[in-house]
Amino acid sequence: MTHVVAVGTRKGLWLLRSEDRRTWTADGPHFAMQEVASVAVDTRGDRPRILAGVMSWHWGPTIAWSDDLGATWHETENRAISFPDDTGTALGRVWQIQPDTADRPGVVWAGCEPTSLWRSDDGGEAFSLVRDLWDHPHRPQWAPGFGGAAVHTIVPDPSSDRVTVAMSTGGVYVSDDGATGWTPRNKGIHVTFLPDPYPEFGQCVHKVAVDAAGPSVMYAQNHHGVYRTDDGGLSWRSIADGLPSDFGFFVLASPRAPGTAWVMPLVADGERFPVGGRMRVHRTRDGGGSWTELGPGLPDDAWTVVLRDAACVDLAEPTGVYLGTRDGCVYASTDEGDTYSLVAEHLPDVLSVRAAEV
Contact 307, 326 (CB under 8 A): yes
Q: What is the pLDDT of residue 200?
A: 96
Query: How far from 168 is each of 11, 79, 111, 194, 314, CA to CA, in Å?
Result: 24, 25, 11, 14, 26
CB atoms within 10 A of CB 128: 12
Closest Cα to residue 29, out of 46, 42, 16? Answer: 16
CA distance 310 to 307: 5
Low-confidence ranges of the chain (pLDDT < 70): 269
Q: What is the pLDDT of residue 122?
A: 96
CA distance 210 to 205: 14
Contact 356, 18 (CB under 8 A): no
Give the chain's domain count.
1
Contacts of 149 (CB under 8 A, 6+ apart): 113, 114, 115, 142, 143, 167, 168, 169
**CATH number for position 228:** 2.130.10.10
- Domain membership of residue 130 as a residue range: 3-357
Q: What is the pLDDT of residue 146?
A: 80
Q: What is the pLDDT of residue 7?
A: 98
pTM, two decimal places: 0.96
